[in-house]
A and B are shown apart, each in its own frame.
Chain A
């Protein structure tokens, strides 16, 4: 049989590790939304002395790559401190799975974000975070590193799809080197909006295509 996934992806998809809800988690992250597609929930149990993640669980409303990445992420994060776990990247997870089709990158990055969100939640609940950061083009740029270019399987910053970012009074303007009728234009735009609109001081996001 021919599948677009590696044996390891299929294995994690069929038998995902650490699945389920956690009662009274120390940290909880929910990324994605049913309106846009995939969704991942990550639950943490952290040792307050050592900051080590002692237990981790996930739930997924997503495709095979999403489920498999979430599964591998929980394995990677378990036993690590929250600072170590924060640095687990999407690339690491993908490598661990033996690779993913480029077009599926955006489904798998969600799992990494779910983990980071759960750590942020833990930190906020335990007074470990500083004040809210004001949104600058650099902040937007770092958010856009989580938007995948389905043609390359890498993010849209690294693949130089983003040509300009303006932030003005809560209004963010993002210029893309992509025509509006491109096969992936709608999907990329939706992804950008999802990532940037959630910043606390952003009121409007405009994505501008070439034509």
Chain B
């Protein structure tokens, strides 16, 4: 039917870079021992060295120090660790109040809901039409017993970037810890903890052409964090379980491979997609902020048509994208993000997320826009909502 799949769902996950795999291989076949202390055996000492080098790479990518990085199994674990860890550590001392935004991804959102069931009070901060958190509301909601604010850096669906400097400043003034889920912005939109006083940052490798099953949590020195998962004393007794050294090494390699130039290229793909769609297809809405946006995300609603129909037609022509339509989701619910930015079910129903990565090209954008143009007009022709 077609030669190759054009993959435009890079926020879901990415293709692994061969150079990452090459960097990981020695830790599967040569230096496969567990990380030992300096009193262990040579292979274990070498493995430990690989792990610590990787930690150093992640740390310097954020302007942090190596001992502030904890390797995890991915962003879900990182966010659970951050929120549950801080909440457990400060529950007796400070209280049981937590603040998150309404458009968080599920690791943060469902952790908050779970804590709510255990008696925690949670405030869900609203966002404006662009997806930007209401900072006045945030200021007003922080109380003496607030233990943590968790607001994402970039949104998983619409790519909106929050002003972390402003959020961090508010939290510092009110003396509350701040966690941010940076899964969808890490290495794509800059973050420097020596300038922005965030206390905890969730990161993941698989969104930047690294391996799956590995992520990290940045924990600012001195941040109270109780261990939330019982196990051994690895990761300076912050995360039990055998270290995923090949994963950590692959993660570090993936970080090294991201360049400013690449991010500029991704933003040119994004801008070109938006430009062509808006010039050539009527009745479309951009979801998310025009300017405060990750370089690799374009999310557009094509009104009067349904998302799963579009993605299936696109799939049959060899394109992979995703949609916020209820028909596409595991819970049959419309995207809480689109609803959160004030959109209705109709806007979620026809939304398509294009997310770009290293292996995409301008030709891919041209091909997908050409295809979607045809598909949308075909589906609008049979839509009872569209006035032909």
| A9-40 with Cβ < 8 A to chain B | 10, 13-14, 16, 19-21, 30, 34-40
Given contacts A19-B382, A34-B345, A187-B331, contact A61 B304 (CB under 8 A): yes
B287 at the interface (CB under 8 A from A): no
Closest residue of chain A to B114 (Cβ to Cβ) is A181
Q: How far is the CB of A198 from chain B (nearest CB, A)?
A: 17
Residues of A within 8 A of B327 (CB): 37-38, 62-63, 104, 107
Q: B14-22, B37-45, B78-86, B308-316: which one contacts chain A?
A: B308-316
- A63:B306 contact, CB within 8 angstroms: yes
Closest residue of chain A to B334 (Cβ to Cβ) is A37
A157 at the interface (CB under 8 A from B): no
A155 at the interface (CB under 8 A from B): no
Residues of B within 8 A of A137 (CB): none
| B310-334 with Cβ < 8 A to chain A | 312-313, 315-316, 325-328, 330-334
- A30:B384 contact, CB within 8 angstroms: yes
B293 at the interface (CB under 8 A from A): no
Kindly supply a per-residue 1/0 record for chain A positions 165-192, scoring 1 wherever the CB is within 8 Å of any chain B CB and 0 otherwise: 0000000000000000101101100000
- A34:B382 contact, CB within 8 angstroms: no
Q: How far is the CB of A87 from chain B (nearest CB, A)?
A: 25
Q: How far is the CB of B283 from chain A (nearest CB, A)?
A: 13
Residues of B within 8 A of A60 (CB): 382-384
Closest residue of chain B to A57 (Cβ to Cβ) is B382
- B308:A37 contact, CB within 8 angstroms: no
- A64:B312 contact, CB within 8 angstroms: yes
- B1:A1 contact, CB within 8 angstroms: yes
**A59-B349 Cα distance, complex, nearest whole Å:** 17
A140 at the interface (CB under 8 A from B): no
**A14-B313 Cα distance, complex, nearest whole Å:** 8
- A63:B309 contact, CB within 8 angstroms: yes
Closest residue of chain A to B2 (Cβ to Cβ) is A1
Kindly supply a per-residue 1/0 record for chain B positions 329-344, scoring 1 wherever the CB is within 8 Å of any chain A CB and 0 otherwise: 0111110000000001
B305 at the interface (CB under 8 A from A): yes
- A3:B326 contact, CB within 8 angstroms: no
A103 at the interface (CB under 8 A from B): yes
- B326:A37 contact, CB within 8 angstroms: yes
- B331:A186 contact, CB within 8 angstroms: yes
From B315, B325, B332, B346, A35 is in contact (CB under 8 Å) with B346
- A34:B349 contact, CB within 8 angstroms: yes
Given contacts A37-B334, A107-B327, A187-B333, contact A59 B383 (CB under 8 A): yes
- B344:A59 contact, CB within 8 angstroms: no
Residues of A within 8 A of B384 (CB): 21, 30, 39-41, 59-61
| B219-241 with Cβ < 8 A to chain A | none
Q: Which of A10, A13, A40, A61 has the most CB of B within 10 A?
A: A61
| Majority secondary structure, A binding face | mixed
Closest residue of chain B to A187 (Cβ to Cβ) is B332
Q: How far is the CB of B306 from chain A (nearest CB, A)?
A: 5
How many residues belonging to A are interface residues under a CB distance threshold of 8 Å?
A: 37
Given contacts A107-B327, A187-B331, A187-B333, contact A35 B385 (CB under 8 A): no
| A72-94 with Cβ < 8 A to chain B | none
Q: How far is the CB of B22 from chain A (nearest CB, A)?
A: 30
Closest residue of chain B to A114 (Cβ to Cβ) is B384
**A64-B345 Cα distance, complex, nearest whole Å:** 18
- B382:A63 contact, CB within 8 angstroms: no
Given contacts A34-B349, A60-B383, contact A187 B326 (CB under 8 A): yes
Q: How far is the CB of B5 from chain A (nearest CB, A)?
A: 9
Residues of B within 8 A of A99 (CB): none
| B273-304 with Cβ < 8 A to chain A | 304
- A62:B312 contact, CB within 8 angstroms: no
Residues of A within 8 A of B306 (CB): 37-38, 61-63, 66
From B308, B315, B333, B345, A63 is in contact (CB under 8 Å) with B308
Closest residue of chain B to A71 (Cβ to Cβ) is B382
Q: How far is the CB of B360 from chain A (nearest CB, A)?
A: 21
Residues of B within 8 A of A153 (CB): none
- B331:A183 contact, CB within 8 angstroms: yes
**A1-B385 Cα distance, complex, nearest whole Å:** 32
Q: Which of B315, B326, B328 has the most CB of A within 10 A?
A: B326
Q: Which of B305, B313, B344, B345 has the most CB of A within 10 A?
A: B345
**A63-B309 Cα distance, complex, nearest whole Å:** 5
- A36:B308 contact, CB within 8 angstroms: no
Q: How far is the CB of A79 from chain B (nearest CB, A)?
A: 22
- A62:B346 contact, CB within 8 angstroms: no
**A194-B113 Cα distance, complex, nearest whole Å:** 27
Q: How far is the CB of A116 from chain B (nearest CB, A)?
A: 17
- B385:A34 contact, CB within 8 angstroms: yes
B interface with A by C-beta (< 8 Å): 1, 113, 304-309, 312-313, 315-316, 325-328, 330-334, 344-346, 349, 381-385, 388
**Which 4 pairs from chain A and chain B are nearest by CB?**
A187-B332, A63-B327, A59-B384, A63-B308
18 chain-A/chain-B pairs, Cβ below 8 angstroms = A1-B1, A3-B316, A13-B309, A16-B382, A21-B384, A34-B345, A34-B346, A34-B385, A59-B382, A62-B306, A62-B309, A62-B327, A64-B308, A64-B312, A67-B382, A184-B331, A184-B332, A186-B331
